[in-house]
Amino acid sequence: MIKICLAGNPNCGKTTLFNSLTGSTAHVGNWPGVTVEKREGSYRKFDEKIDIVDLPGIYSMSPYTPEEVVSRNYILDEKPNCVINIVDATNLERNLYLTTQLLEIDVPVVVALNMMDILKKNNETIDIKALSEAFKVPVVEISALKDEGLDDLMKVAYGEAKKVRKGTTILEKTTVGSLVREAYNELKTSVSSPLFHAVKLVENDELECKDHPELAKRISDMKSKLPEDDFEGDYEAIIANERYEYIGKNFKHTFVKFNEGLTKSDKIDKVLTHKIWSIPIFLLIMFVVFHFTFSEDFLGLNKIFGLEITSKGWFNFFTGMGYDGAIEEEGEAILSGIPSLGVFLQSWMGFLTGSIIDLFNSFLPEGAWYTSLICDGILTGIDSIFSFIPQVLLLYLFVSILEDSGYMARVAFIMDRAFRKFGLSGKAFIPLLMGFGCSVPAMLATKTLEDEKERDVTIRITPFFSCGAKAPIWTLLAAVVAGRFLGDVFVFSIYILGIAIAIIAAIIMKVFSKNYDVPPFIMELPQYHAPQFKNLMVHLWEKFKHFIYKASTIIMAAIIVIWFLSNFSWDFWNGMVDDIESSILASVGRVVRYIFYPLGFGSGADGWKYTAATFTGLIAKEDVVGTMAQLGLVEGTINLSNAAIYSFAAYNLFTLPCFAAVSTAKSESSKKGFLVTLAWWLALSYIVALIIYWLGTLLEAVLWLGSIVIVVIVLLVILLGFYVSKKKRAQIA
């Protein structure tokens, strides 16, 4: 069996290449001992099995991040048969820095020049032959996005994997050449890949100096006898400079540009990363995404033109055979406009899952406890969650398109520029962006943040970036409020509220923190390109598999527990209760709901039901919708006011995330920091929901007074932001 690993910079197209090579054979886990994601798969176009390992994206082989340590250890210790070094052809100089380090290891290397299609579109080319001769390794042109050159790449890699290669270095004739030779001569009989270890020892690499203390001291003595340099003895900087000088001097001629004008990406960036318009454009793009996913009147035919659809055929087509339901609930079948694709798919999924429940009810005995468990418990709970799957996957699809096109990298750059004014780290925004998918990997990504305080702050605000598990809650509430105002606007406002409160929370924490040092944020902006359909489908399949796993384990278990608590009283040996108001869940909910009285959704006859749903959301946020369905809280029976609906949504957004995320926060935080984080989530969610409910109620009662109060609050937040920004500038000065 042959092992081939993929190594390259972030955003070089490495994962796209991995997906194209491995397809359905890919599986994801974690590297042993660390939380860095591990991807493995098989390439099956040769008679011999080839295992492909996708190493984490890294800029160098220095041991400063978990990703770098994992990649370094795998190549050195696992000894793959070949390393495919993916190089972004549109950013040659930066990517070849890692190449010069990989070539120092005793392993066959193949350089894959990716994104050559984009280079050609920009009327640019690279002298492949010159590049290959200089590095003395094969260089292959590919486009991972378009599946171009991949078969040729694997044929070359397969051939190289059969060979033996000794490491080479571009440092041989530089100022540090003598130091490298001395270290190499000492190490060549005691370690594998001695050249790589020798270079790292000269760099004062922490791991190498620890493993070879005596040799490190001897090399240090040799350094003291060398002439003074411009880097004040920082040999890591000296070697980095030598690498870049070599790359610039020897490979400048390999890159040929036929015109000196701006590339298409440069022209697009002049608009999308504009100093003033970039954030409004981002908000507009996100609104379009939510409108396409959650709007009940996608084209505005009803709200703008007053059009109502009364045809039974069209009504059933757009609502998933919902004509009879409309007659039963409203007395007439009127469809207000054409729904968005997300609402259309959700309606048909609801019809499908509802039909399955009706089928089971048709042959199971009426009144039996197992009939209730299957139909009213398991199937109803699954129906309430699965009916929203199309909208959740559609939302994921749009986000994946924005990510794969290169736009989300620009969003991180844009937000860094905005956040930095308040003393926030741009580097921390990457985990926060991941929070839109899932809080668990987002919190794990905070390992890349060096400062403990910054890491704790980032973990505390990560759940405010609404994850995919919360999407079914917003989808249900959007359907409820659609008759009062735009459902897509409601969902969009929830996401914006999360971002706004995250910013305000970070500012508040900075006010009470003495640490105002903002680390530099360095990020490469990839070229814009059309997303690959296959790659998008892989992303969606991974999300769907993850959801199915949760639905068949955690969510299913929670649904069964909720069914039992809502169908039996404390003397459960007497059988099921006739009225849910007599159940165990109702008795507990009536006690706990008083805590939520001030938030609006804890009052009234159904207050305990919303309380119970909120608590089950601690297991998995999808359980909120499942619990509500079992307790009879569906689109037509939720009677909360607008203010209470917003309050309920805000509390579930900002309160404790699911148990998995809480556990992750504990593992990634200090003990004291974790306790503060728990208190922060509980307190902030209650305060924000309270303010929203009171302001909303005030607006409904006295519009002008509520508006004045909101303006005052906004001004106070702006003043607080200016205070933090001014204090930061004063400390820097």
DSSP string, 345-384: HHHHHHHHHHHHHHHHHHHSPTT-HHHIIIIIIIIHHHHH
Rounded to the nearest 10°, the torsion over CA 579, 583, 586, 589 is: -170
User: What residue numbers bound the domain in which 678 lies?
Assistant: 406-528+655-732
What pLDDT is recorded for position 117? Answer: 82
What pLDDT is recorded for position 152? Answer: 93
Burial class of residue 185 (count of CB atoms within 10 Å of its CB; 0-12, 13-18, 19+)? exposed
| CB contact at 8 A, 107 and 78 | no
518: left (phi over 0), alpha (psi -120 to 50) or beta: beta
Identity at 646, one-letter amino acid code: Y
d(CA 345, CA 199) in angstroms, rounded, equals 58
Whether residue 43 lies inside any domain: the answer is yes
Whether residue 591 lies inside any domain: the answer is no
- CATH for 15: 3.40.50.300
Alpha helices in 91-127 (DSSP H): 92-102, 116-121
Q: Tell which residue, 14, 146, 11, has the closest CA to residue 91.
A: 11
What pLDDT is recorded for position 451? Answer: 66
* Residue 707: CB atoms within 10 Å: 13
What pLDDT is recorded for position 104? Answer: 92
Buried b (16+ CB within 10 A) or exposed e, 79-117: ebbbbbbbbbbbbbeebbbbbbbbbbbbbbbbbbbbbbb
| CB contact at 8 A, 523 and 57 | no
Whether residue 550 lies inside any domain: the answer is no
The pair of three-digit structure tokens given for residue 253, joined into one six-digit string: 């001629």
d(CA 13, CA 404) in angstroms, rounded, equals 9
Strand 255-257, strand 124-126: pairing: antiparallel
379 CA to centre of own chain: 30
Identity at 633, one-letter amino acid code: L
* Residue 323: CB atoms within 10 Å: 17
What pLDDT is recorded for position 360? Answer: 92
Burial class of residue 712 (count of CB atoms within 10 Å of its CB; 0-12, 13-18, 19+)? exposed
Number of domains in the chain: 2
pLDDT digits (tens, 9 = 90+) for 236-282: 888 888 888 888 777 766 665 545 556 677 788 888 888 788 888 98
Q: Tell which residue, 692, 679, 681, has the closest CA to residue 601.
A: 692
What lies within 8 Å, CB to CB, of 35 at 6+ separation is 66, 444, 447
d(CA 40, CA 18) in angstroms, rounded, equals 9
Whether residue 388 lies inside any domain: the answer is no
**DSSP letter at 315?**
H
> Of 261, 285, 319, which residue constitutes the final position of a domain?
261
d(CA 142, CA 8) in angstroms, rounded, equals 14
Q: 566: helix, coil or strand?
A: helix
pTM listed for this prediction: 0.65
The pair of three-digit structure tokens given for residue 689, joined into one six-digit string: 């929901």
Identity at 173, one-letter amino acid code: K
520: left (phi over 0), alpha (psi -120 to 50) or beta: beta
Distances (CA, A) of 352 to 292, 359, 379, 387: 22, 11, 12, 8
What pLDDT is recorded for position 626? Answer: 80
DSSP 129-167: HHHHHHHTS-EEE-BTTTTBSHHHHHHHHHHHHTS----
Burial class of residue 165 (count of CB atoms within 10 Å of its CB; 0-12, 13-18, 19+)? middle
**DSSP letter at 65?**
S
What pLDDT is recorded for position 684? Answer: 93
| CB contact at 8 A, 401 and 531 | yes
9 CA to centre of own chain: 18
* Residue 225: CB atoms within 10 Å: 6
What lies within 8 Å, CB to CB, of 474 at 6+ separation is 294, 466, 490, 491, 494, 649
Phi, psi angle pair for 685, to nearest 5°: -60, -40
d(CA 668, CA 513) in angstroms, rounded, equals 20
| CB contact at 8 A, 282 and 418 | no
> Of 228, 261, 294, which residue constitutes the final position of a domain?
261
**Across the strands, what pairs with 2?**
50
Whether residue 522 lies inside any domain: the answer is yes
Whether residue 454 lies inside any domain: the answer is yes
Residue numbers in the chain where pLDDT is lower than 50: 34-35, 231, 258, 484, 516, 732-733
What pLDDT is recorded for position 447? Answer: 66
Whether residue 634 lies inside any domain: the answer is no
DSSP 404-440: HTTHHHHHHHHHHHHHGGGT--STTHHHHHHTTT-HH
Distances (CA, A) of 505 to 218, 346, 434: 51, 35, 18
Q: Tell which residue, 631, 628, 702, has the closest CA to residue 473.
A: 628
**DSSP letter at 86?**
E
> Of 261, 284, 306, which residue constitutes the final position of a domain?
261
